[in-house]
Amino acid sequence: MIQLKHSSRQVGFTLVEMVTVILILGILVIGVSSFVIFGTRIFVESSSIDQVLGQSRFAVERMTRDIRNSVPNSVRIRTDNSGNFQCIELLPIEASSSYLTLPIYPNASALTGTIVDNNISVGNGLFAIVYPLANESITGVNDVYQASRNKRFAVQSASSSANIITLTFGGSVQFAEQSPIKRIYFAAQPVSYCFESIAGSAEVILNRYSNYGYIVSQPVPLTMGSGVLMAENITNNLLLEPAIKVTEQNLMTNSIVHLEPRFSVNGETFKYQHQVQVTNVP
């Protein structure tokens, strides 16, 4: 009888093989994790840059629209002597037209006037402005903000008939001067854009203020209530590197507002050099 012998063989890993596999897996994990961390860092930094770029574009575009659409000679700038803020104030136009009859000196004062109805909406809450000529930075007075100049009067109501709008004022009024082209503007309330330094920091923020009323002397941020944050990460030194500059108008050209805010993100900076022409045709 033949007996068959069965041999048993043990299968496994040696210590050297296990250590080798662990080292290889560790190298792979380190490589993959470094790639993931690097990719995540790029994504976070790109997102931060895109956010600041989008925010800055929005702020500059909003300022541009308001400045370009402002009542003639309503733009004025105030910079704090300590460099804590720099503000630009203006009066956005809500509507404009040509007037037919208005109580304008030397005519007697009256409660009403008529304008051309060119599909505009005029009513309570708006002010009628005629020939705002005096600019504060040149003459020391301002036809827009100083009620005593008799260039701005509140509209109480308006009614339209046969392409003519009849304005009713809040009282008997008399405008100071005729407009050479019989132009009339309608506006509500002034707005201000203020670059403000953050205490204890080199950072500057941009706020927009509104609904604070007409003030003869250009107001400062603390007197205008709560502003709406428009942009952050601004690094201008407002005394040495103003964020706003103005080239005043003359007989040949309109005034130009220069917007030059500098933004910083992730150690990199970029600066706008944007010019806005202010149409001064009262």
Could you say which of 140, 163, 187 is where a domain stops? 187
Whole-number pLDDT of residue 281: 67
What is the reported pTM?
Answer: 0.81
- What residue ranges in 42-163 does DSSP mark as E strands? 76-79, 85-90, 93-101, 110-116, 127-129, 152-161
Whole-number pLDDT of residue 123: 85
Name beta bridge partners: 231: 206
List the domain range (segments joined by +) for residue 71: 49-77+191-278
Residue 13 within any structural domain of the chain: no
- Domain at 150, CATH number: 2.40.30
Q: Which amino acid is at 44?
A: V
Whole-number pLDDT of residue 16: 73
Nearest-Å Rg of the Cα atoms of the chain is 33
Whole-number pLDDT of residue 38: 64
Q: Mark the ranges of the chain whose per-residue pLDDT is less than 50.
A: none
34: Cβ contacts below 8 Å, ≥ 6 apart: none
Residues 99 and 164 occupy one common structural domain? yes
Q: What's the whole-number average pLDDT of the chain?
A: 86
Whole-number pLDDT of residue 3: 57
Whole-number pLDDT of residue 59: 92
Place of tokens 């600041």: 52
- For 68-125, the pLDDT digits (tens) are 999 988 999 999 998 899 999 999 999 999 999 999 999 999 999 999 999 998 988 8
Name beta bridge partners: 8: none
Whole-number pLDDT of residue 277: 86
CA distances from 222 to 84, 87, 209, 218 (A): 12, 12, 10, 12
Residues 150 and 196 occupy one common structural domain? no
DSSP-derived 3-state class of residue 9:
coil
DSSP-derived 3-state class of residue 40:
helix
Whole-number pLDDT of residue 263: 92
Whole-number pLDDT of residue 132: 92
